[in-house]
Structure 1
């Protein structure tokens, strides 16, 4: 048992000794490793001290190399526009037709891009190159302007507007392919790099070119219409009232509207939206100046013939106002320019209203004598003819009368309203133009009749003749109202005419008052009641009345019969001799009948037996006048 145990201990002891031996070797190796690490650290420090400066220099060299590369790249980019200048100059200095419009515009685009890059570099050394490219773009822009003008001139031959108006055709527009080319050219000429300084021109060069070329086209196209408007107006017979549409101004205006509308349709696809109005105004300016000149010439003609041609002024106001509104609605422009061109004619139209009134008043006052037979004077029918013609111009007259205000056609008010200062009446938005015209026409009629009444009172001997003269003129006024478009407009004037009729009747019957006095006698109420005057009792009553009279009273009655007959015969003769309108003769005859018949019937009932059995001739005898003689006056 002991021996095996000793063997085991010996074996373990041997293993322990081996372990101790290995441990000693490990310690020895550790010391060697520590020594090697110390030496390595020392060597690393020496290497670091030696290599550190070299590494720093290397980094700086790398940065320098990188900067040099960037500089070389920038120099390359700078030199690239300079290198391409020679290539683009060859294209831009050649005619666009030779190199092709598309290639020419592409060259401008490349040059613009190069110019922008040079300006962004902000290098002083590039200023010369920038200047050269600016000059090159200027050359290209001018070349494109010339192409722009050439394209416009291809369709700038003047047209005859009358052809399109009479056949109701649309006025010509630029072809779509050309508007596309013009739009492209305008976009490049108007670019910031190609545009001229604002101080040198108004708007873009292409806008100015368009206004020049197309403006001349419009002016020449409208020239014949302007000439025709003036010549047709001057061919009017002197002294004859102007009739609506007798002038060429309506055709002229329609030509302007058609051409301007077509021009607006041309402008829209070529230029930016914000430029449409200005370009249209500039394009139309020359033809508008010619239009304004034509209106001034027509205004001079109207002023010289205001009494007959004021209606032309009304027509011009209507026509120009209408096309001005339509153009403003369609394009948003030209309303102010059209209004300025119309201003002289409109002022003449406004002043004509008072001129017509004053002329009518003056002509009547200066009349040497009214017709001795009581006939109507020509000025009445002339005045009514003017008013009838005015009904063909109600629309412009409504505008003019509204601007004047009610009764503003009087001399003092009209003179003030012609100034540029607006009045409160000018802003009366509730004014009724038709009603204002009715007031004006009524004033005109009153002017005629009132002045004729004054003139008749001084130039005609008897009131009866004065009444006939005035009645004839009143009837003509009434007849011309009822037979024309004045009737619905002047319905409110009938009471005034009725008042004039009553006045003329009163004047006429004044001459019959003396005749009626012969039919008056003295009755004594205490001598019994007046018997009935009907049937058989009439004769009995007349005989009974006569029995109560003395011889002297009977002679007085006979004398009254004779005097009445003589006076009646004289007045009937005058009544037949007077110049009366049919309505006047009938109306005054009825008035005489109504005035005398009651008196005559009473006198006849009482005293007709006084000449019983004798001839009833009125002249030189005592015969009485039967009632049917009075009734006969009405139809004579």
Structure 2
């Protein structure tokens, strides 16, 4: 067993050594092969370097030859392309010479667009050999553009009348005529091409030849259409009676503005159909410019007329403000244009309207101050009713006046009067000058109250001077004025505006007038007061006691001297009372004033006289020598005063 194991182990070792010898032999061969490969790589590297040194210049030359070949092919291709417009020039030239009318607009536009493209390609090539052809193409394109402009002009002139009668469309509520759809299509095609060329040349829309042609032709048409209405607006401002107050709607400015609005809106539709969106505004403004200038001249003439007749025609200024403001707002909402231009033309009239409020107030004061006489019977004078008529007329223009009042601010007419002369009128209003929550009607009511108070104050001051402190006449004069003021408020649209102010405004003047008139009652009443001294036991009963007054008993208790005093008082009363009655009847009083004063006099005198009569009427034993009136008689006299 042991010998067998030893023999097996030796056999395994010999096999292992044999495998090791084989591996070593292969490793040596691999090392030799690696050295040979490295030697080959070294030789290959040297060979590659030599090849690169030789092939490099050849490769660069090849690339240059390729580029040159490509350039030659491009030149040949460009020459071929350039030959095409040259070859077709005669065809396009024939179409251009025929013109758009004969050749047809679409065909003509196609031809001129081809010429433009060919010209652009040749100009981009910048070859000397094509310069003559470029010049010929430029001539053809220029001729084609000119013919298109002429064709645009011809179409538009044939379609545009010299003028139309605007009243025909206004009275029948018809829209003003626009260009026909067929002509609009043609004009639009021409403008589309022309505006593209113009913009490519860096021009502004309003400087486009097509835009200029359109504005020139259509502006003449609109101006001619509106000229008669502009003239009518200034002519209707001249009244047969220079002193007549202007009435709403009697001037032609309303019809003028209505025609202008209809005409402008129709023109804007034409422009929107022909021109591009960016060109609408500039072309529309250019087309309307001549008509707007004429409107500005008309408004300046009307403004001068208003300033010369401020008292009667200031209302025309208010009407113009409303009409032109509405025109501006309507055009702005439909077109987005002309608001600034219209505001500029309206500004002088608006400033006149604003200044008129202070001017009229000051004029009222000046006219009263200039009075040389006041009726000696206290009759009212025309300036009272004229001032109230002015305020009544203003109510007819309450909408524009309200906006003017808001821009002035409450009481602003006072500062305007102080700064009269242009400083306020020319100033540009700031946001601070507007009360956002202001009520124009309320401010106007304040202006009316100021006017009435200024009128009454001036009348009172002048009456003190001219009537030389004759209080009853002054009282009649002021009361008549107050009554006319109140009546004209109640009988007009001023009533709701001044409802909350009327009592406060007029009651004070009415009380002052009553105080002045009844001042004479004091002189009459003094004759009805008695201071008679009697003994306590014989003291007469006073009137108003529980029992009837016994005149005979009272007279028995008087001395002869006191009785004579009573007779004298009756006589003096009769004289002064009769004088007062005669004067009362001689005064010129409004019905309400006569009733008011009669009642005031009666309330002051009758109770005193009745008391005096009760006590002393037996002084002449019913003969009427001293006691002229009994209680019923004097009551009848008072009733006759009403």
Tell me the TM-score normalized by structure 1.
0.85
Corresponding position of 2:168? 163
Question: What are the residue-to-residue correspondences of 1:201-350 with 2, within 5 Å?
Answer: 202-350=206-354
What is the match of residue 96 of structure 2? 92
1:13 aligned partner: none
Pairwise CA distance, 1:137 = 2.2
Match of residue 512, structure 1, among 521, 543, 553: 521
**Counterparts of 1:286 and 1:452 in 2: how far apart (Å)?**
51
| Structure 2 contact 160–218 (Cα < 8 Å) conserved | yes
The alpha-carbon distance between structure 1 residues 135 and 602, as it changes in their structure 2 partners (threshold 3 A), is farther
Shift of 1:287: 0.5
Equivalent residue, structure 2, for 1:543? 552
Is 1:211–1:279's contact at 8 Å kept on the other side of the alignment? yes
**Match for residue 601 of structure 2 among 592, 595, 601:** 592
Distance, in Å, in 1 between the alignment partners of 2:276 and 2:212 is 14
Distance 1:401 1:220 in 2: 37
**Residue in 1 aligned with 2:475?**
467
The residue number in structure 2 matching 1:450 is 457
Q: Mean alpha-carbon deviation: is it higher for 599-608 or for 329-338?
A: 599-608
Equivalence map 1:483-498=2 (5 Å):
483-494=491-502, 495-498=504-507
- In structure 1, what is the equivalent of residue 11 of structure 2? none
Cα gap change, 1:450 to 1:193, in 2 (>3 Å): closer
Structure 2 unaligned segments of length 5 or more: list them: 1-54
| Residues 13-32 of structure 1 mapped to structure 2, 5 A cutoff | none
Q: Does the 8 Å CA contact 1:215/1:287 hold for their aligned counterparts?
A: yes
Cα deviations by residue, 1:559-602 (Å, 9 ceiling, x for unpaired): 11111111001100100010000000001111111111222232
User: In 2, distance between residues paired with 1:58 and 1:452?
Assistant: 117
The residue that corresponds to 2:49 in the other structure is none
Match of 1:420 in 2: 427
Q: Following the alignment from structure 2 to structure 1, what is the Cα–Cα distance between the partners of residues 319 and 68?
A: 88
For residues 100 and 124 of structure 1, what CA distance do their matches in structure 2 show? 35
Is it true that 1:531 corresponds to 2:541 in the alignment? Answer: yes
Deviation, structure 1 residue 305? 1.3
The Cα shift of 1:122 comes to 5.2
Task: Single out whichever of 105-114 and 380-389 deviates more from structure 2.
Answer: 105-114
SS of the counterpart of 1:87? Answer: helix
Q: CA 1:519/1:103 → structure 2, altered by over 3 Å: closer, same or farther?
A: same
Deviation at 1:343, TM superposition (A): 1.4
Partner of 2:443: 436
Question: What CA distance in whole angstroms lies between the structure 2 residues aligned with 1:559 and 1:80?
Answer: 138
2:320/2:349 contact within 8 Å kept: yes
Q: Which residue of 2 aligns with 1:108?
A: 112
SS at match of 2:342: helix
By how many angstroms is 1:239 displaced? 0.8
For residues 242 and 407 of structure 2, what CA distance do their matches in structure 1 show? 30
Distance 2:474 2:506 in 1: 17
Q: Report deviation, 1:627.
A: 5.0
1:72 corresponds in structure 2 to 76
CA contact under 8 A between 2:542 and 2:549: conserved in structure 1?
no
Are residues 1:563 and 2:572 paired? Answer: yes
Q: Name which of structure 1's ranges 105-114 and 505-514 shifts more when overlaid on structure 2.
A: 105-114
Cα distance in 2 for partners of 1:486, 1:67 equals 94
Q: Secondary structure of 1:614's partner?
A: coil
**What do the CA deviations read for 1:25-67 (whole angstroms, capped 9, x no partner)?**
xxxxxxxxxxxxxxxxxxxxxxxxxxx9xx9999999987766
- Does the 8 Å contact 2:149/2:209 carry over to 1? yes
Cα distance in 1 for partners of 2:433, 2:198 equals 52
- Residue aligning to 2:631: 626
Shift of 1:128: 5.2
> In 1, are the aligned partners of 2:177 and 2:266 still within 8 Å (CA)?
yes
Answer whether contact 1:202 1:208 (CA < 8 A) is retained: yes
Shift of 1:402: 1.8
Separation (CA, whole Å) in 1 of partners of 2:547 and 2:198: 123
Q: Is the 8 A contact 1:546 1:554 kept in 2?
A: yes
Q: Spell out the pairing of 1:105-144 with structure 2 (5 A cutoff).
A: 105-121=109-125, 123=127, 126=130, 129-144=133-148
- Equivalent-residue separation in structure 2 for 1:233 and 1:630 (angstroms): 58
Q: Which moved more, 1:464-473 or 1:418-427?
A: 418-427
How far apart in 1 are the matches of 2:315 and 2:210? 44
- Corresponding residue to 1:178 among 183, 187, 201: 183
Deviation of 1:358 (Å): 1.8
Give the superposition deviation at 1:91: 1.8
CA contact (8 A) 1:316 1:345 kept: yes
SS of equivalent to 1:190: helix
Aligned equivalents of 2:68, 2:277: Cα separation in 1: 54
Judge conservation of contact 1:189–1:195 (CA < 8 Å) in 2: no
CA contact (8 A) 2:528 2:569 kept: yes
> CA separation of 1:621/1:78 partners in 2, compared to 1, >3 Å: closer, same or farther?
same
Is the CA contact (8 Å cut-off) linking 2:191 and 2:210 kept in structure 1?
yes
Partner secondary structure for residue 160 of structure 2: coil
- Tell me the equivalent position of 2:192: 187
Q: Is the 8 A contact 2:534 2:557 kept in 1?
A: no
In 2, are the aligned partners of 1:467 and 1:505 still within 8 Å (CA)?
yes
Shift of 1:635: 4.9
Deviation of 1:513 (Å): 1.2
Q: Aligned partners of 2:125 and 2:598: how far apart in 1? A: 110
Q: Distance in 1 between matches of 2:199 and 2:396?
A: 57
